[in-house]
Structure 1
Amino acid sequence: MTKLNLFLHKLTHWEYWPYQVVYIPVYFQYLYYAARAGSFFYFNASNPTFKNGGFFMESKKEIYDLIPSEYYPKTLLIEPTETLETIQKKIKEADIEFPLIAKPDIGLRGTAVKKIHNIQELAAYFNKANFNVLIQSLIPYENEIGLFYVKLPKQPGKITGIVAKEFMILTGNGKNTIRELLHQDKRYLLQLEALEAEYKDKLNTILNEGETINLVPYGNHCRGTKFVDASHEITPEMIESFNTICNQIEGFYFGRMDIKYHSFKDLAQGKNFQIVEINGAISEPTHMYDPKHSLWFGWKELTRHFHYMYVISKHNRKNGANYLNFKEGVHEFKKHQKYYNTILEF
């Protein structure tokens, strides 16, 4: 498949377009709401207990600390100055086993998220990482969704959308290499460069008939995961369960919960699941990226959720939450840019 074919595929499928293009209507909506709120950083009040409302520079560990421990995997915060010996000791004391997940405490769309299988891979990861890292035990559920939760003023919370995630799982035929199988799917082929850097010669392996491999075991669209709108799975029982759960998370009003779970039946009952992470004000209603949806649908969902965030922020402001002033906001944004440049170098 030629580079031209891949370019045309990306051009004709808006889910791959740069966010700067997709978000054009939101820029005007944001400026309107900023003028009404009297602050460019009104979103800070959307989730008062999340740093900057969860829009940028928010620590995942600080958010985990707000969640009851039974709802998320064992998690350690590791600073870049810690030695490998200290890290190993902490992992052992926390009863976290290999394989495990390592990821930046302040994330960037799946960058530097790795499944670590052994001490050697752990050492290699921390030789490169010059930022705070979270170590997490693997979640024992195979299915993953993003569940968007909104708690509007004087209303019970509601689930506004669910995205199901189809991982990059290849099935062997006993003939083709992993690399050749990747060439059979344009979505996967777009990830070839990143996969070559991670898997190297393993891509030349021939999988047996029926043998499967999950090349990217975390549900990130930028890493090849297909997003499928599963909002039809929302039920009154599920909404009630997540109101109970989210009411235990102090200061959480707006955002997407990435969740691994056993079945939708169990999830609706609030059991057999764990929260991968919670994204705050920066959250996207990612069910819009289902390939069946039009760009118009995507714009409608973006503007709908951006309106929710404004209404929630305005209400929380009246109840004592703060907006960042302009000087503070610019300072935070500069820190955000500097930090993300560091992450991108990983």
Structure 2
Amino acid sequence: MRKLFTHHPFFIRLFHWEYWSFTAIYGWIYPVFTLLCIRAGGKFFFTAANPTIKYGGFLMEQKQDIYPLLPNGYYPLFFHVPAQTSFTQIEELLQQHQFTFPLIAKPVIGMQGKAVKKINNVDELKHYAAICTVDFMVQELSPYTKEVGIFYHRIPGEANGRITGIVAKEPMTVEGDGVSTLYELIMNVPRYILQIDALKQMYGKDILQVLKKGEVKVLAPYGNHARGSKFIDRTEKADATFVASIDAVCQQIDGFHYGRLDVMYNDWEDLQQGKNFHIIELNGAGSDPTHMYDPKHTLLFAWKEIIKHWFILWRISKKNHAKGHRYMTIKEAVAMFKSNAAHVKQLDAVALKL
């Protein structure tokens, strides 16, 4: 009976707010955001936060426009593939950029890791290109293996930026016992049960394989909460050295004042010193303070963090607005949300075919 409550998807979600929908988490505090919009003259203020990024990085920003803003050497190389590009052209781009497998393919307008896939060979890339109905990019696989999200902001006019959150991302991982199938190992972990449909699709018949005793397998190489990764709050690691190193990098990103860096690295001391890491995503005004998703945190903690960051976002936007950067009108915002909803449907359709 106890397992019914701890391992049934309905109860896993019910008793763990981190799995609730966006609306279920944010809906209770929308009035705060509405109040900030009213204070901005009845407009959506967030677009002024990061003037060089479309919509301030709230929604519908394109990765191929953001990566060039980053300092050289701080991100994996990539090339952009418009939808319906022939595979012959894609192969030419592979040769031109001298890319070797494995690679990462992902939509240029992303959402919660949807339709992101590790590509191991030409056939897999050909399949991805055939089913992907949106523009995507092919990117070198970062050589680094650990991932953190770093929430950064700098008030315009202030000399130094700040870090208000660090989240470590633990991908879904199982260890074999020499007896249980991969499916059985997955079903023993409540967090992984919520991903079982995607894992069945990913592994096919291989989900019935038996791992050797002590064999460790990473089920999915994506540091995304919506795709099963566990988020651990490591904000306490934001010491003066770390903040100064990240601030030095972020101040080289033109027009970037607020958002989250998703970073791959191997050694914390190197990262702390600002060395040997890749920024694999730069998220702007729409960034969640993802350290709040640590299972140890309450929903009340999450609400406090969200509201705190909304006020920071409002302050930054107000400062930039005073410099001439415009706010988004309600009409423009409605069009943006409609475009985003349509795009998400496309991503979901692509993800189902992967």
Does TM-score exceed 0.5, indicating one fold?
A: yes
Segments of structure 1 that go 5 or more residues without pairing to the other structure are none
Alpha carbons of 1:66 and 1:199: their partners in 2 closer, same or farther (altered >3 Å)? same
Equivalent in the alignment of 2:11: 8
Pairing partner for 2:142 from 125, 134, 139: 139
The answer to whether residue 84 in structure 2 is matched with residue 86 in structure 1 is: no
Provide the rounded CA distance (Å) in 1 between the counterparts of 2:55 and 2:36. Answer: 17
Provide the rounded CA distance (Å) in 2 between the counterparts of 1:327 and 1:175. Answer: 59
Provide the rounded CA distance (Å) in 2 between the counterparts of 1:243 and 1:99. Answer: 32
Which deviates the most, 212-221 or 283-292? Answer: 212-221
Offset of residue 136 of structure 1: 0.8
Equivalent in the alignment of 1:54: 57
Does the 8 Å CA contact 1:39/1:324 hold for their aligned counterparts?
no
Task: Summarize deviations over 1:312-342 as a string: whole Å, max 9, x none.
Answer: 0011000111112233332222222222221
Does the 8 Å CA contact 2:57/2:283 hold for their aligned counterparts?
yes
1:302 partner letter: I
Offset of residue 343 of structure 1: 1.3
TM-score when normalising by structure 2: 0.95
1:176 partner letter: S
SS of match in other structure, 1:163: strand
Offset of residue 76 of structure 1: 1.0
Does the 8 Å CA contact 2:53/2:61 hold for their aligned counterparts?
yes
Does the 8 Å CA contact 1:54/1:280 hold for their aligned counterparts?
yes
Offset of residue 164 of structure 1: 0.2
Task: Summarize deviations over 1:6-34 as a string: whole Å, max 9, x none.
Answer: 31121111101111111134311111011
Alpha carbons of 1:26 and 1:40: their partners in 2 closer, same or farther (altered >3 Å)? farther
Provide the rounded CA distance (Å) in 1 between the counterparts of 2:196 and 2:32. Answer: 37
Question: Where do 1:107-118 residues align within 5 Å?
Answer: 107-118=110-121
Equivalent in the alignment of 2:334: 330
Provide the rounded CA distance (Å) in 2 between the counterparts of 1:26 and 1:93. Answer: 49
Pairing partner for 2:245 from 217, 228, 241: 241
Equivalent in the alignment of 2:323: 319
Provide the rounded CA distance (Å) in 2 between the counterparts of 1:59 and 1:198. Answer: 27
Offset of residue 39 of structure 1: 3.5
Offset of residue 141 of structure 1: 1.0
1:69 partner letter: N
Question: Where do 1:112-127 residues align within 5 Å?
Answer: 112-127=115-130
Does the 8 Å CA contact 1:141/1:273 hold for their aligned counterparts?
yes
TM-score when normalising by structure 1: 0.97
Task: Summarize deviations over 1:145-195 as a string: whole Å, max 9, x none.
Answer: 000001123331001010000111111121111111001101011100011
Provide the rounded CA distance (Å) in 2 between the counterparts of 1:90 and 1:178. Answer: 37
Pairing partner for 2:207 from 185, 189, 203: 203
Provide the rounded CA distance (Å) in 2 between the counterparts of 1:169 and 1:46. Answer: 37
Which deviates the most, 18-27 or 133-142? Answer: 18-27
Equivalent in the alignment of 1:75: 78
Equivalent in the alignment of 1:172: 176
Question: Where do 1:177-256 residues align within 5 Å?
Answer: 177-256=181-260
Offset of residue 88 of structure 1: 1.5
Offset of residue 211 of structure 1: 1.7
Equivalent in the alignment of 1:30: 33
The sequence identity of aligned pairs, in percent, is 42
SS of match in other structure, 2:279: strand
Equivalent in the alignment of 2:347: 343
2:64 partner letter: K
1:321 partner letter: H
1:249 partner letter: I
Does the 8 Å CA contact 2:156/2:257 hold for their aligned counterparts?
no
SS of match in other structure, 2:223: coil
Does the 8 Å CA contact 1:39/1:323 hold for their aligned counterparts?
no
Provide the rounded CA distance (Å) in 1 between the counterparts of 2:214 and 2:28. Answer: 45
Equivalent in the alignment of 2:299: 295
Offset of residue 124 of structure 1: 1.1
The answer to whether residue 287 in structure 2 is matched with residue 283 in structure 1 is: yes
Offset of residue 306 of structure 1: 0.8
Provide the rounded CA distance (Å) in 1 between the counterparts of 2:133 and 2:79. Answer: 16
Which deviates the most, 311-320 or 87-96? Answer: 87-96
Task: Kindly tell me the number of residue pairs found equivalent between the two proteins.
Answer: 346
